[in-house]
Amino acid sequence: MRWWGWGDPAQEPVLPPHALEFLRSTVGVAEQPRPPVALENVTLPASALDEDALARLRAIAGEDGVRADHDARVLHAAGKGYPDLVRMRAGEPGEAPDAIVYPRTREQLVALLALCAEDSVAVVPFGGGTSVVGGVAPLRGEHRAAIALDTAQIDGVRALDRESATVTVGAGIRGPALERELAAHGFTLGHYPQSYEYVSLGGCAATRSAGQASTGYGAIEKMVLGLRVCAPAGEIELPPIPATAAGPGLRQLLVGSEGTLGVIEQLHLRVREAPRARVYLGVFFERFPAGVEALRACAREHVLPDVARLSDEHETSMSLALAGTGGLKARIGRTYLGLRGYAEGCLAIFGFEGGNEDVDYRRGRALALAHGCGGISVGRSPGEAWRHGRFAAPYLRDDLLTHGVMVETLETATQWSNLLDLHTRVGDAIGAALAGYDTPAYVMCHVSHVYETGASLYFTFIARQSTDDPIAQWRDVKAAACDAIVEGGGTITHHHAVGRDHAPWMAREVGASALAALSAAKAELDPHGIMNPGKLALAAAAIRRSA
């Protein structure tokens, strides 16, 4: 993983020349490219752990299981949010773990938590490191140091129950490694967040992740049938039963706990048979509300596509512009816009996966419902184009940053009856906040996950990066958007989680009593408060309670 951005370090720039021209004409680009500094020029604070402390960690995790060198600390200094990348590219992360520890066994993990509780060392669980909300920020809280607890070695498929369609994994296993193993047995998990190529499944569970196909496969919370969490005060182990009424939902208390209660060490996950049929289609709607209505109709009739995405007019225009004059744009121009004379439009991707009969039935009904809302199928090529590029957007973000273009995403979910209002409200808030920075703003959005009672909204905005203080610019826009979301009746996050960045808004969303109850549960499982301090709104509540 690039320490200053996304993905494969060997990846070439993905921004085509015509797209750069489009950006130049819409929001403006830097006169000179601004590449990241060299790795050796990244400035880190000195490690707070001396050789004795490192030796104690090595006594548990082995010589190879502990690192405190420059490169490892840089790679674990931040996640992949916009402010993370801005700071890393400038060589000024401002914070870094004092060491990185790679336990290989549950016993090592348990021993490490005990040692850290005794030594007053905060523990930041680190899976793929792909958080975009500061979830892996190496915060110490009130402790003398912080380690990143990298779960990469707690991996592997431990059991596959073919009859029950469940797999048991070490929680550090990466998405592609799990899918490869499952594919060899004819199964799939079906969890494809944009970060799929790098995520750990434990990280997905800890952050209540949703994948691009979660409309069909369900978000990770639907897949976690059981799990084992190692907390400083003990372990919680819940078996992979399909359903239970044995009290409050403990599995759902642990899913989304973001490393604040303990480390997810093992997961029992529901899998499905690998799809025999896979059809991804583009559907064009004249206006966003018509597309929303089509998705709502599909939800009502239980014929939703597994991937159900609907771009608004702005995002559709941007997609066509980035695609250039060939391919998608030409095809859609010929088959739809040209014929209909629509000035703009909204492109939806309907992706169906499953058995042949299932895909045939749902595709037929979903397209019929879409047609009833004025939608026109524009065939497989837009769907296949989307599939082909589904994990590429983070690379594009790196290229935009190189050209001085700010790009950030944020997301929410709400009821159908509130969706269009929230879409307008959040878009307006982002635009107004960026206007204060004297930059044009390009704000776009898509519906990314669909439920019977509502849907999620995923916003992307592009602007000229402030050269004075890009972090302050980001903070202002982010706060305006988050305020608009919570005041507008949306949830502060549908699938990016809370981390550091969303904690104040989570507190507003769930209220003081709920936070107090969660904080009490945390204090029981993590009595020294070493687990991922400063994340969720729990730490803040705990600090208030102890003050």
Among 41, 43, 417, 546, binds a copy of itself (CB under 8 A): 417
Q: Establish if 520 lies at the interface with a copy of itself (CB under 8 A).
A: yes
Using CB under 8 A as the binding rule, the residues of this chain from 127 to 166 that contact a copy of itself are 161, 163-166
The runs of H, that is alpha helices, within 120-225 are 175-184, 201-206, 214-217, 220-223
Q: Establish if 453 lies at the interface with a copy of itself (CB under 8 A).
A: yes
Q: Establish if 97 lies at the interface with a copy of itself (CB under 8 A).
A: no
Using CB under 8 A as the binding rule, the residues of this chain from 268 to 297 that contact a copy of itself are 270, 272-273, 296
> Least distance in Å: CB of 505 to a copy of itself?
8
By beta-carbon proximity to a copy of itself, the closer residue of 251 and 478 is 251
Per-residue x/- mask for a copy of itself, residues 193 to 232, rule CB under 8 A? Answer: --------------xxxx--------x-x---x-----x-
Q: Establish if 473 lies at the interface with a copy of itself (CB under 8 A).
A: no
Distance CA(96)–CA(62), nearest Å, equals 22
Q: Establish if 191 lies at the interface with a copy of itself (CB under 8 A).
A: no
Which DSSP string do the residues of 414-426 spell out, in sequence order?
EEHHHHHHHHHHH
Among 10, 31, 40, 242, binds a copy of itself (CB under 8 A): 242
> Least distance in Å: CB of 493 to a copy of itself?
5
Contact between 537 and 503 under an 8 Å Cβ cutoff? The reply is yes
CB-side exposure of 285: number of CA atoms within 13 Å? 27
By beta-carbon proximity to a copy of itself, the closer residue of 61 and 267 is 267
Q: Establish if 255 lies at the interface with a copy of itself (CB under 8 A).
A: yes
Distance CA(241)–CA(255), nearest Å, equals 16
Crossing angle of helices 538-546/512-525, nearest 10°? 80
Residue 516, classed as helix, strand or coil, is: helix
> Least distance in Å: CB of 108 to a copy of itself?
19
Q: Which residues contact 220 (CB under 8 A, 6 or more apart)?
A: 191, 201, 204, 205, 208, 209, 210, 211, 255
Q: Which is nearest to 390 in space by CA: 193, 176, 189?
A: 193
Q: Establish if 455 lies at the interface with a copy of itself (CB under 8 A).
A: yes
Contact between 231 and 252 under an 8 Å Cβ cutoff? The reply is no
> Least distance in Å: CB of 416 to a copy of itself?
4
* The residue type at 109: L
Distance CA(257)–CA(522), nearest Å, equals 10
Using CB under 8 A as the binding rule, the residues of this chain from 479 to 498 that contact a copy of itself are 489-498
Contact region for a copy of itself (CB under 8 A) — 15-23, 68-76, 86-94, 266-274? 266-274
# residues near a copy of itself by CB under 8 A = 97
Contact between 405 and 27 under an 8 Å Cβ cutoff? The reply is yes
Q: Establish if 114 lies at the interface with a copy of itself (CB under 8 A).
A: no
Among 116, 132, 137, 254, binds a copy of itself (CB under 8 A): 254
* The residue type at 279: V
Tokens for 69?
């060198």
Per-residue x/- mask for a copy of itself, residues 343 to 362, rule CB under 8 A? Answer: -----------xx-xx--x-
By the 10 Å C-beta count (0-12 exposed, 13-18 middle, 19+ buried), 452 is classed as exposed
Q: Establish if 317 lies at the interface with a copy of itself (CB under 8 A).
A: no
Among 20, 48, 250, 392, binds a copy of itself (CB under 8 A): 250
Per-residue x/- mask for a copy of itself, residues 365 to 404, rule CB under 8 A? Answer: x---------------------------------------
